[in-house]
Structure formats: structure tokens, C-alpha cells
Amino acid sequence: MTQVLDLVGIFVFALSGALVGVRRRLDVVGMAVLASVTALGGGILRDLILNVRPAAFFSVGYVVVPLAATVIVFFWHPHVQRVMPVVNVFDAAGLGLFCAVGTEKALVAGLSPLHSVLLGVTTAVGGGVLRDMLSGQIPVLLYDRQFYAVPAMLGSAVMAVLYVLDLHGWTATLAAAVLAFGLRIAAVRFRLRAPLARGVTAPD
């Protein structure tokens, strides 16, 4: 079940990466690269840090899913863009799942709670950062005006706290994922933004 949810999250993240490629007027190769990096980048970074073989290099599904998302966006990107509110819901779910699972994997591997939280956030937003760097945008992690990294950080923190309290398993993962998901949806719904430095105004 976890792998199925993982692939769903990868698919949604890949859609967002491919759409960035469309907006940047990239060809199909560029779209596929951005889709794959967005979907798999965070998990690959996490696994490399944990010194384990990334799933993307031995599971066919992790390669096929981003490519399928690229094909969908390539032919039907206007339709995908119109259903983005729905895609954003799944994107928030992927964010919650990735930050919780990433944190749990780090804790199981023996990292401290603090470092596990950092790795959970890396899992959730690392692909997006790589996507933004490749497409010439300010990475969302450095300019969290979409309130994206903060929900991942809080979800990862809850996962670490529950683990320290000896609350493991899918219920703990679900609780942390739901928290991050809820915060992300609330941010979209109520236009929540991370604060800027005092006296600094947001650009247009």
C-alpha cells in the first residue's frame, strides 16, 4: 500500500515538473527531465545520504510513472492545467506522505530526530528545489511564498516526536502526513505565506 501511495505522489510531482517544462517552453526531453527530477529527486537524495540504493534504480515503476506523466502533459497540458486545483490536492498529499516516510526511514536508519526531520523535508521538497534550479527559478525552499516547506517541516517534526514516544507504524505516518497535508491545503485556501524580513515587501 505504501508503494502505491508513493507512486501516486511521484505521478503528481511529475505532472508539476512537466508543467514547468511547458511554461518554460522546453521540448519533450526537457519536460521529461524536469518531471523525473521533481518526482524522484528528493527520494534519491535521501537514499544516497542514508547510503542505500535508491528505489528509482531498481524499480521500473519509479521510472515509468514520471515518463507517463510527461506524455500526458505533452499532449494534454491545457486540460491538466484546468484541473490543477485537483492536482494540487494530490500534490499536498504527496508532500505529506513524502515528508513522513522520509523522516521515518531516517529514524529507522539511526539518525537523530533533528537530522531525520531535515531529511524528511529533503525528501518532500528536494525534487522541487532541483526542478527550480534546472528551470532557472528561485527554489521554493529559499522563497517559501507558497508555504510549501513549512508544512513539510512540521509534518516531519511530528513524525520524529511520535517515533521518540515509541509510536511507530502506519498510524504515526498517517498522522504526520495528514498534518502536513492539512497545512498545505489551508495555505492554498487562505493564501498563507511565510513572513519576509522586517521592512521587506514582496515582489509583484
Residue 145 DSSP class: T
Q: Please tell me the distance from the alpha carbon of residue 148 to that of residue 187, in angstroms, as a whole number.
A: 8
Write out pLDDT tens, residues 148-180: 889 999 999 999 999 999 998 888 988 999 999
The x, y and z cell numbers of residue 90, run together, are 494530490
Angle, CA of 124, 127 and 133, to the nearest 5°:
135
pLDDT of res. 87: 76
Torsion 169-170-174-177 (CA) sign = positive
Residue 144 above 80 pLDDT?
no
Q: Which three cell numbers stand for residue 10?
A: 511521484
Distance CA 132, CA 4 (A): 26
Task: Please determine, for residue 204, whether its predicted confidence score (pLDDT) is greater than 60.
Answer: no
- The residue extents of the domains of the chain are 2-190
Residues 182-201 have a mean pLDDT of 83
Do 103 and 175 touch, CB atoms closer than 8 A? Answer: no
What percentage of residues in the chain have a pLDDT greater than 90? Answer: 56
Separation of alpha carbons 35 and 131, rounded Å:
8
